């Protein structure tokens, strides 16, 4: 004789199996991708129109923002609490902002790269006047 617990457990197991089956059916149709006519295309292609380097995050040995970059971006008067010995000691608020920005870039710089590449492609910005390195 089955107990109420066993009956409920059997119902729960059947519901879980049905739920998993519905996910499996939905995932097979979703893998096909969208269909239909493309109605908007700027012609931008990352391989041809993007930057010639890959995105990077914390997994690479590159350095993100340091006090020196903050000085170059905003100037000593805005970010340095002290410049004893030529070294900038950041205001605590600037230190916190730099840390937040670096934390935000830990997963990669893709948003900034993609926006900059698209703006260059659409001539909203010019490489020779925007980028010191002249990309």
Per-residue pLDDT of the chain (135 residues; tens, 9 = 90+): 567 777 777 777 777 777 777 766 655 555 567 788 888 888 999 889 888 887 777 777 777 889 998 999 899 999 999 998 989 999 999 999 999 988 888 877 777 788 888 888 998 888 776 555 544
In a domain, 71, yes or no: no
- 26 is in which domain, residue-wise? 1-30
- Residue 1 covered by a domain: yes
In a domain, 26, yes or no: yes
**78 belongs to a structural domain:** no
* Contact (Cβ atoms closer than 8 angstroms) between residue 117 and residue 49: yes
**pLDDT score, position 29:** 52
- What is the total count of domains within the chain? 1
Any domain includes 15: yes
Q: Which pLDDT value is given to residue 24?
A: 66
For residue 68, the SS3 value is helix
pLDDT at residue 23, as a whole number: 66
| Cα of 80 vs its chain's centroid, Å | 29
Task: Please indicate, yes or no, if residue 133 is contained in any of the structural domains.
Answer: no
Cα 80 to Cα 51: distance, rounded to the nearest angstrom: 33
**Greatest CA separation for the chain:** 86
- Domain membership of residue 16 (yes or no) is yes
Residue at 35 is within a domain:
no
């Amino acid at each position: 004789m089955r107990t109420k617990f066993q009956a409920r457990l059997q119902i729960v197991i059947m519901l879980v199996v049905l739920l998993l089956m519905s996910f499996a059916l939905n995932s097979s149709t979703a893998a096909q991708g969208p269909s239909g006519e493309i109605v908007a295309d700027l012609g931008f292609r990352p391989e041809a129109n993007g930057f010639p380097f890959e995105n990077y995050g914390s997994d690479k040995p590159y350095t993100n923002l340091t006090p020196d970059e903050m000085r170059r971006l905003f100037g000593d008067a805005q970010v340095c609490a002290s410049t004893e010995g030529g070294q900038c000691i950041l205001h605590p608020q600037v230190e916190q902002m730099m840390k937040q920005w670096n934390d935000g870039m830990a997963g990669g710089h893709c948003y900034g790269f993609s926006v900059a590449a698209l703006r260059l492609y659409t001539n909203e910005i010019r490489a020779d006047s925007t980028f010191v390195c002249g990309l």
